[in-house]
Amino acid sequence: MTAERKRDTREKILLGGIVIKAGLSKADRAFLLGGLIELARLMPGSPEHRRFSHIGEEAFKATSLNGIPSRVEEAAE
């Protein structure tokens, strides 16, 4: 396996882990892609961008997302 392919695989695994940590492992793929496209449209440094970054930073610090609501998980139950 080439170094580039290993990096690509690692990146995909890390991104998959983020989806799982966010409680979106059962979410519709189109929903996920649409949400990511909307996030990509945010201007870096905008209030929304800063707000989402803060939420993400706090989630990474947490050992679990207990207490952070996930509408997708609630709908699946």
Mean pLDDT of 14-41: 93
Residue type, 24: L
CA angle 32, 66, 52 (to 5 degrees): 45
Predicted confidence (pLDDT) per residue in 57-77, tens digit: 988 888 655 555 555 445 544
Closest CA to 35 of 70, 11, 4: 70
In this prediction, residues 21-39 reach a mean pLDDT of 94
Token pair belonging to 69: 């609501």
Tell me the C-alpha distance between 26 and 19, whole Å.
Answer: 9
pLDDT of residue 15: 92
Instruction: Kindly tell me if the per-residue pLDDT of 46 is higher than 90.
Output: yes
pLDDT of residue 61: 85
pLDDT at 71: 54
